[in-house]
Amino acid sequence: MKKINTFVTKYFWVLVSIIGLVKVWMISGMTIYQLGDAIQDNMLMVDYAENLGAGNWLGVYNNNTLLKRISYPMFMAVCNKLHISYLTGLGIFWTVSVVVLIVVLKKVIKNKVGLLLAYIFILFNPVMYSATFGQVIYRNAIVPGAVVLAIASLIGLFTRRNESKKVLLLWSLFSGACFAFFWNIREDSIWLLPFYAAALVITIIYLLVENKKDKKLIQKVAIIFISAVCVLIVNNGIKLVNYINYGVYTDTELFDTSFSKVKNLLINIDEEEDEKDGITVSRATLNRLFEVSPTLKEIEPFVGPYMYDNFWQLVGDNVDDGEVYGGYFFWAIRDAVQAAGYYESGEIANEFYSKVYDEINQAIDAGEIKLVSKGFTVMGIEVFGDEAGDVMDAVIWNVDKMIDYEKFNYATTLSSGNKTNLRRTEILTRNAIIYRSVSQKSLYGWVVPNEPNDTITLSLCDKNGNEISIVPLQESADVYKYFSDQGIENEKANYANFKYESNFSGELYLHVYVNGELESTKKISEIPQGQINAKQYTMYIGGVNSAAQDDPAYLSNKSNDSEYNFIIKLYKKSGNFLAILSLISFVIIFIISIMNTIKKQKNQFDLLLILFGILISYFILIYGVSAKYYAAIDSGKMWGYLAGTCPLQGIFISVSIVLAVESVINFIKCNKKKGKKVRAKKQKITPEN
């Protein structure tokens, strides 16, 4: 053990570098997948990144321009400009984040073997291999790395509070930049704000207590506040650029805009008899709002085609009941407002929503519309409402699934949606996408008109009669001979052969035209082989084939799934045990710290505060997601928002266990040393140093 400890201590950073490169290599070798039709989500990130890379900020203003925050598309654009693939950039970002954490923890974890084990445990967290997080082209992929950086920078600021002003300033700026980057990934980043604020306050308190006589104390406290100033500068800088480009001073229209006011108002409207589970605003309620808001009524002609008669009313619960479910209502109504022409500029859109907000409030004051009375809420979530029991069930369910990594799985996943959008994603990310299976259809045979003067034309169409392709007739001496042998001379038999192959994914229909008039329509999959004797023509079908061709990259990449899932399986097997062990370790550190305090020895209450803050942040995020999506329990929708819990869990488990072991060893050593001194004193022998 001593040799291992000596080796690890000597070559610690070499080992960290080698293991980190292995991690980058593994992430670079993953496959990505994209949802090409997710215009307001996955593809919106691509739109933003393309425009940022081209120097167009977020592009031409429309109803999607200020929907999301920009850290993730900025990350994608930077990777593209640096000519590195997205997955390589993702691997570097995650690995560097964990290395920064290790640099910080080196100040508090003295044992290099324990520190290296913590590094490995955090670094190989299954979150980066999960199809839900690491593989999909969406902003949740960088949340784990950003969380680690934010936590690490704040721990670094705290542990270096007594160093020079220059060092303190660097860590203050770094923590502000890291938190600002994290904040601008998602609109619900507020869950980590309590940890950030508490970290700054606790750092200042420790500074005040430990440096009462330091003449530079006020300067150091001011330097700590620079972190928060940095966050404010970044956030307001983004808002200012948006204002310059679009006339709206905000980072996202979901907050601090007229639209956000209307959104919050509609959420609280009493649905009365129109209330349905899972529906935020019913169609009947929207119709009532048209009656009280003349401005909102102007979009009524667009509500049908852009909200209720298209895909929006199937998104969510996939129920064709004429309603738009959940928060999708607000994306849908923005489409209708866009179609009505109110997104020509930010000023026009803002004015539209301001009028709607005022008119609905007037109706509320007049008693025409009622609001639902809510209890105590946090971030719009009712804490002690009727659904409190369901929410707590969801919290327990999420913690259980997170601890044993049950929902984590690596899979070579087929991308879907608009192929042009998929190609755009490939170009931006410099990573190949695995396409869905191609349906290969083939049809061959011959056709001859019964009357030599008639002309036959063949075409392939979809189920709606839209022409996919003309089927050309080719030279056919064998067919002419076939008819001649039967005593039938028909020159049209010289050009009667046809052969056609298609990758069209839908059902195909063969249309037969005689002299330009549609004679018959036959579903390709139902055409029998052999001769068909029709009134105006004779046709022979030699073969109808339909086969699915997999993307060649699918099988070659699929073989790698087991390698990634092997690592995930190790975490799954040890998940519950390590979680329990970490809680026991936390208690052990607490007890030893109390005992050391009584003996006036160094305690670790400062580290306990850090671990406790990480644990609280973990439950804040899980509670927030559970409260908002408890009705969608056991769904990818709920699980997808929990990316931030994975690194928190990894940090808490590994650091708690390593610190507990280190604390126990130090406690035993200290007591042994003290015992020797006592015995030596009794024997009047000077103890050896």
Q: Which two tokens stand for residue 446?
A: 């011959």
Average pLDDT value for residue range 4-33 = 93
pLDDT class of 371 with cuts at 50, 70, 90: confident
Average pLDDT value for residue range 559-581 = 91
Task: Tell me the pLDDT tens digit for each residue of 315-358.
Answer: 655 455 678 877 788 888 999 999 999 999 999 999 999 999 99
Pick the CATH number of 438-549 from 2.30.30, 1.10.10, 2.60.40, 3.30.420: 2.60.40
User: 418-425 contacts: CB < 8 A, separation 24 or more?
Assistant: 418/36, 418/37, 419/36, 420/36, 421/34, 421/36, 421/37, 421/43, 421/46, 422/34, 422/36, 424/46, 424/50, 425/32, 425/34, 425/36, 425/43, 425/46, 425/137
pLDDT for res 276: 67
Say which residue the tokens 């009375």 belong to.
373
Sort residue 610 into left (φ over 0), alpha (ψ -120 to 50) or beta: alpha
pLDDT for res 437: 65
Average pLDDT value for residue range 213-224 = 87
Q: Is the pLDDT of residue 226 over 50?
A: yes
Q: Which two tokens stand for residue 241?
A: 């650029």
Helix, strand, coil percentages in the chain from 3-state DSSP, rounded to 5: 60, 10, 30
Average pLDDT value for residue range 36-50 = 93
pLDDT for res 619: 93
pLDDT for res 158: 95
Average pLDDT value for residue range 516-522 = 89
DSSP 395-412: HHHHHHHHHTTTT-----
Average pLDDT value for residue range 536-558 = 76
User: Distance (Å, rounded) from C-alpha 152 to C-alpha 149?
Assistant: 5
Contact 122, 101 (CB under 8 A): yes
Q: Using the 8-state DSSP alphabet, how is residue 160 labeled? A: T
Q: Which two tokens stand for residue 8?
A: 């690890």
Q: Is the pLDDT of residue 385 over 60?
A: no
Amino acid at 319: V
pLDDT class of 379 with cuts at 50, 70, 90: very low
pLDDT for res 386: 58
Cβ density class 254-283: b for 16+ within 10 Å, e for less: beebbbbbbbebbbebebeebeeeebbbbb
Task: Tell me the pLDDT tens digit for each residue of 149-180.
Answer: 999 999 999 999 989 999 999 999 999 999 99
pLDDT for res 377: 47
pLDDT for res 38: 87
Q: Is the pLDDT of residue 587 over 50?
A: yes
Task: Tell me the pLDDT tens digit for each residue of 607-663.
Answer: 899 999 999 999 999 988 888 776 555 555 667 788 899 999 999 999 999 999 988
Mean pLDDT (the chain, rounded): 87
Ordered by start, the domain boundaries in the chain are: 2-247+556-674, 269-373, 438-549
